[in-house]
Amino acid sequence: MKREKKIQNSPINVWLIEDNLAYSNTISKLINNTSGMKCLKVFSMCEDSIKNFSPEELPDVVLLDIGLPGINGIQCIGKLKQISTDIQIVILTVYDDNDKLFDALCSGASGYLLKDSSPEKIISSIKEVKMGGAPMNMLIANKVLKMFSSFKQTKSDYGLTDREREILQYIVDGLTKQQIADKIFLSFHTVNTHIKNIYNKLHVHSRSGVVTKVFKENII
C-alpha cells in the first residue's frame, strides 16, 4: 500500500545535459514547475553526468543535447545506457539531419525532440517516455519512417538462373568448386561453367568481387 503510493507519487527524476545556460534554466524551471517531475541535476557536459552519479539516485529520464563540447554527444547515450538500461534518454537538439538521428536511435535513445518544441510537448514527452513511449516531433517521426523505406532492398538480379543463384550461395558460403560439385552431384566442369556465367553476368572476375557484390547489392 505504502509502496504503491510511493511509486505513484514519486516525481519523475529528470536530468538535463545542456550547455546553453539560458535554455537549460528555462527547461529545468519548466520541469520543476510541473507536478510529477523534478529536474534534479543539470550538466553542461556529458562527462560530468557520467562521473557525478551515485547508484542510488539514478535518473528516470535524461534530456540530452547532442552536439555540445567535450566527447561526442552520441557516445554519451551509450555510456548512460551502459550504467543502466532503465534510464530513458530523450534527445533535445537543434540538429534534424538523418545521420545524427540515425546514430542517436541506434545508440539507444528513446525519444528525439527538436529545440523548437513547445514547453507542453517537452513535458508530455517526459511523461510519455516514462510510460514506455517514444516521443518525437512529427517531422522526426516522419524521417524515422522514411529511413525504413530507404532500407528497402532493390534486389538486383542480373538475370541469374535458379541454378546459378544456388551455386552463388555456395560460393558465398566459402565452398570450393569441387565441394560444390560434390554437394549437388554435378561434375566439377559443370560447376565451373556455371561460375563462369555468374562472373559474366555480375561483371566480376574473382571470388572476393562476387561475394562483395552479393552483400552490397543484396543479390540472393
Partner DNA sequence: TAATCAATCGCACGAATGTGGTATAATGCT
Partner DNA sequence: AGCATTATACCACATTCGTGCGATTGATTA
Residue entry with cell 552519479: 53
CA distance readout (Å), 100 to 54, 81, 136? 29, 18, 14
Give the largest Cα separation in the chain, rounded.
79
Binding track over 133-172 against DNA, x by CB under 7 A: --------------------------x-xxxx--------
Element (H, E) at 101: helix 98-107
The least distance separating a second copy from the CB of residue 156, rounded to whole angstroms, comes to 16
Residue 103 CA to residue 97 CA, distance in Å, equals 10
Q: Applying CB under 7 A, which of residues 37, 195, 202, 219 lies at the interface with DNA? A: 195
Select from 157, 196, 212, 215 the one that contacts DNA (CB under 7 A). Answer: 196
Q: How many helices (DSSP H) and strands (DSSP E) are in the chain?
A: 11, 5
Dihedral angle computed from the Cα positions of residues 26, 91, 86 and 58, in that order, rounded to the nearest 10 degrees: -30
Q: Does 109 sit near a second copy (CB under 8 A)?
A: yes
Distance CA 149, CA 163 (A): 31
Instruction: Tell me how many residues contact DNA (CB under 7 A).
Output: 22
Query: Taking the complex as a whole, how short is the minimal distance between the CB of residue 142 and a second copy, in angstroms?
Result: 4
Three cell numbers written together for 24 = 537549460
Nearer to DNA, 75 or 190 (CB): 190
In whole angstroms, what is the distance from residue 75 CA to residue 97 CA? 17
* Minimum separation from the CB atom of position 121 to a second copy (A): 13
83 binds a second copy (CB under 8 A): no
Q: Which does 188 bind (CB under 5 to 8 A by kind): DNA, a second copy, none?
A: DNA
100 vs 163, beta carbon nearer DNA: 163
Interaction of residue 144 with a second copy, rule CB under 8 A: yes
E strand or H helix at 207: helix 207-216
Which residues of this chain interact with a second copy, rule CB under 8 A? 102, 105-111, 128, 131-136, 138-139, 141-142, 144-145, 148-149, 151-152, 171-176, 204-212, 215
Which residues of this chain interact with DNA, rule CB under 7 A? 159, 161-164, 176-178, 186-190, 192-196, 199, 205-207
